[in-house]
Structure 1
């Protein structure tokens, strides 16, 4: 469960972090850069935009906590993520993953053209009144992200926060608004609602629950509040009891906006 920050001859924890540009569409200050020959994303705590429902200055820590839960699941959903000093102060650093968008796992298509074996999330219409459907692929990799999002209580799983890479793997990124104590799950991955979890998914959740009583719990205690860790534990236990994908809870929208 310890962070492995070794990469050939590059010191990812202390090596020079050189900024190369800023991601202008991000809500919070987000930069791309390099540490040696390693491409990274850097989100300084000083650049976080205040939110009414999350404590100020905690988004970077939540991103690292999400990585630790991903590692505990054993599914490599979140790219390597850690906290360190950077040009604009302490922040979250994450290894860059170059997506392959030949086949995005989440899409919007005309309602008459939904491919076989894809899941429907929402139906609506465009400005001309033509029916549209929000869909996502029906794959084991995407199911794992959906389970992960339930555990971390992800309040912002946009389609663009899923990075398709080679051989069918999918990474999840942008986990700053996670681990709230209240139900906050907002996601575009509702296609398996009420369906049974498979044995691999149950095994992953079981691992997280067990590790919360050991090293994982100790690591998360440096990143999250006590009630937030208790809520994570309760979500694990609830999934293990129901063994099904949940339905939306509460009065908040069940999907993020924008969707991508």
Structure 2
């Protein structure tokens, strides 16, 4: 992604286009524009969040934290995401809209595109590090340029391990050494811009998850058969 995307998201005028259906929380397609330049983004205002017993209000901060974590790892698995205080419905996250074929999702991609299995396994590792509790199949996109993206990270970073994901095809496989090197620094310190979006217990839990991954060197196995989101897609 170029600086254009971040500039539009950070400084562009935000115009509501439509509400995105079938989302648990109020989610909107918006147009962001700076002068003659414009594009689409996904807006998730705090005002539209459903109250949850296990996550405090402000899920938009976790959307931003997931993007920053992916960027610090140089994995670029999460579309550019910013926090806007001046959006039409108040503070929330603004994420670059991925142009893709929405008939594709994790299950179809895993079956029909074996050449991207390495990236899918990398996304599985990212979800363990971030403690993603909601990796549905439809939250994995392949852009028209062929890049794979993970979206919808509002339910990440809990201090309690509650991983729920559809990406179990790589469970038990060894994590490639380059990826272990990428995450190793997180065991000692979480980047400040990520940590400031979480509480202290969540930061410490992230470090413990990374330390365990480094120690075991494999992607976890779900021995309960229960660690799936619903609906699956």
Aligned pair in 2 of structure 1 residues 115, 34: CA closer, same or farther (>3 Å)?
closer
1:69 and 1:208 in contact (8 A); partners too: no
Residue 169 of structure 2 is aligned to residue 191 of structure 1: yes
Q: What is the alpha-carbon distance in structure 1 between the residues aligned to residue 179 and residue 6 of structure 2?
A: 36
Q: Give the TM-score normalised by structure 2.
A: 0.88
Aligned to 1:13: 10
Q: What is the alpha-carbon distance in structure 2 between the residues aligned to residue 8 and residue 156 of structure 1?
A: 26
Residue 232 of structure 2 is aligned to residue 254 of structure 1: no
SS for the counterpart of 2:170 is coil
Q: How many residues align?
A: 228
SS for the counterpart of 1:7 is helix
Q: What is the alpha-carbon distance in structure 1 between the residues aligned to residue 147 and residue 206 of structure 2?
A: 25
Residue 208 of structure 2 is aligned to residue 234 of structure 1: yes
Residue 37 of structure 2 is aligned to residue 64 of structure 1: no
Aligned to 1:87: 88
2:123 and 2:150 in contact (8 A); partners too: yes
- Superposed displacement of residue 16, structure 1: 1.4
Aligned to 1:35: 32
2:41 and 2:95 in contact (8 A); partners too: yes
Q: Give the TM-score normalised by structure 1.
A: 0.79
1:188 and 1:256 in contact (8 A); partners too: yes
1:72 and 1:208 in contact (8 A); partners too: no
Superposed counterparts of 1:142-157, under 5 Å: 142-157=120-135
- Residue from 129, 133, 136 that aligns with 1:158: 136
- Superposed displacement of residue 116, structure 1: 8.9
Q: What is the alpha-carbon distance in structure 2 between the residues aligned to residue 97 and residue 211 of structure 1?
A: 31
Residue 219 of structure 2 is aligned to residue 245 of structure 1: yes
Q: What is the alpha-carbon distance in structure 2 between the residues aligned to residue 99 and residue 189 of structure 1?
A: 20
- Superposed displacement of residue 38, structure 1: 2.2
Q: What is the alpha-carbon distance in structure 2 between the residues aligned to residue 178 and residue 244 of structure 1?
A: 21
Residue ranges of structure 2 left out of the alignment (5+ in a row): none
Considering fraction of residues, name the structure with more helix: 2
2:187 and 2:208 in contact (8 A); partners too: no
